[in-house]
């Protein structure tokens, strides 16, 4: 091999090495570009697999019992919820005249449908007063399909509660809970018959407590919930996570409102139910004062007038006194004081703290009975 051939061979070898190096460099460059994406896909797949495994574990260890809770509550409380139907005969003036003459009268039957909850196995049922008010006939249908004529034991228009009795025994009964212990954010379930759909279960939370001014009655305060409440739910129970009654559903705020429903607190409903069963009516405290809120921004309630001879007058309360405390509890508004009075036991002596001419004074008042 002469020098020229050797030089040509060396040149071709160098060219091959350059080509090989360029190819390796290209492969490395492509690898460097593709590697993060490749690694990312592996990481994503691994993360997705880990999340799926975590979800499976959570479903087995955490979510499954929660889901089971819903079905358990439906089975536990559902049989205690009843459908309440009230019939009212609407008569015209001509119908009334015919009835006075002993002639057949026509009239139109108005029917209202609501819910109720069995609170005693002997057939005692709590519902809303507006469901059965002025009814000629009341019927109750149980979860097992049996239908009974119901007797109105008593009602309290002030709290919109009524107690019914049916001739049945050994019925499933719901237990009362403590509404004073309920806090905003707690889980609740409403069970009733919205639009006639028997024992519909809806879920939500307690959105507010101690709501006043929802209706134009100082005796009423409510729990607020976002659990769906619709026409027909009235009188049904609002229950807590233990299946206890913590409210009686009663109102929906406005036709345009969404997710805002109200329930009578269970402690109020239980007290009213007990009073009706024992006395046939509810007794409320009364001291005979005309009240209004203060106008200068100070706390308390301004006494506008006193009823002559009423307990407040006899205790020495005078117009222009400002009541700031009732039985050692602060008073912030007339509605709050009226609510305190209605819950006070008739015949008991209660200290009332007032401000008169800028000076504090405590008077003892014997709680009277509110006129019926």
The label of the residue with tokens 């119901």 reads: 150
CB of 163 closer than 8 Å to CB of 155: yes
CB of 279 closer than 8 Å to CB of 167: no
Q: Which of 112, 115, 156, 160 is catalytic?
A: 160
Helix or strand or coil: residue 324? strand
Report the alpha-carbon distance of residue 55 to residue 74 in Å, rounded.
26
The label of the residue with tokens 């009706």 reads: 276
Q: Which residues contact 351 (CB under 8 A, 6 or more apart)?
A: 325, 327, 328, 362, 363, 364, 365
What is the 3-state secondary structure of 272-300? Answer: HHHHHHHHCCCCCEECCEEEEECCCCCCC
Q: Which residues contact 261 (CB under 8 A, 6 or more apart)?
A: 190, 224, 225, 226, 227, 228, 229, 233, 249, 251, 252, 253
Q: Which of 112, 115, 130, 333 is catalytic?
A: 130
Token pair recorded at residue 26: 């290209």
Token pair recorded at residue 363: 């008077």
CB of 109 closer than 8 Å to CB of 89: yes
Q: Which of 112, 179, 207, 234 is catalytic?
A: 234
CB of 207 closer than 8 Å to CB of 184: yes
DSSP 158: T
| Catalytic status, residue 234 | yes
CB of 307 closer than 8 Å to CB of 365: no
Q: What is the per-residue burial (b if ≥16 Cβ within 10 Å, else e) of 162-173?
A: bbbbbeeeebeb
CB of 189 closer than 8 Å to CB of 227: yes
| Catalytic status, residue 328 | no
| Catalytic status, residue 281 | no
DSSP per-residue letters across 189-247: EEEE-GGG-TTEEEEEEEEEEEEESSSS-TT-EEEEE-S---TT-TT-EEE-TTS-EEE
Looking at the annotation, which residues are catalytic? 130, 160, 234
């Amino acid at each position: 091999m002469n020098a020229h051939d050797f030089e040509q061979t060396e040149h071709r070898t160098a060219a091959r090495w350059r080509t090989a190096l360029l190819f390796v460099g290209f492969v490395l460059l492509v690898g460097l570009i593709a590697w993060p994406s490749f690694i990312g896909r592996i990481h994503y797949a691994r993360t997705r697999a880990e999340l799926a495994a975590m979800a499976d574990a959570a479903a087995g260890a955490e979510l499954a019992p929660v889901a089971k809770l819903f079905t358990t509550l439906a089975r536990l409380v559902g049989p205690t919820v009843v459908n309440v139907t009230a019939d009212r005969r609407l008569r015209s003036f001509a119908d009334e005249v015919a009835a006075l003459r002993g002639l057949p009268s026509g009239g139109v039957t108005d029917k209202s449908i609501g819910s109720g909850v069995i609170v005693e196995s002997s057939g005692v049922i709590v519902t809303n007063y507006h469901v059965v008010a002025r009814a000629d006939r009341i019927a109750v249908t149980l979860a097992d399909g049996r239908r009974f004529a119901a007797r109105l034991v008593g009602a309290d228009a002030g709290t919109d509660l009524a107690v019914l009795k049916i001739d049945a025994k050994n019925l499933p009964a719901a237990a009362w809970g403590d509404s004073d212990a309920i806090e905003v954010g707690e889980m609740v379930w409403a069970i009733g018959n919205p639009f006639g759909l028997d024992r519909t279960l809806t879920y939500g939370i307690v959105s507010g407590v101690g709501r006043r001014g929802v209706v134009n009655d100082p005796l009423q305060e409510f729990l607020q919930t976002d659990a769906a409440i619709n026409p027909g739910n009235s009188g049904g129970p609002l229950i807590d996570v233990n299946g206890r009654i913590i409210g009686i559903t009663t109102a929906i705020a406005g036709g345009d409102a969404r997710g805002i429903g109200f329930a009578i607190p269970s402690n109020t409903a239980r007290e009213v139910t007990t009073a009706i069963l024992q006395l046939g009516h509810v007794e409320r405290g009364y001291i005979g004062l005309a009240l209004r809120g203060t106008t200068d921004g100070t706390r308390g309630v301004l006494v506008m007038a006193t009823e002559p001879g009423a307990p407040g007058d006899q205790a020495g309360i005078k117009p222009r006194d400002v009541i700031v405390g009732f039985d050692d509890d602060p008073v912030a508004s007339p509605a709050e004081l009226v609510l305190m009075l209605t819950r006070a036991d008739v015949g008991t002596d209660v200290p009332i703290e007032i401000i008169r001419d800028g000076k504090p004074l405590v008077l003892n008042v014997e709680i009277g009975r509110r006129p019926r």
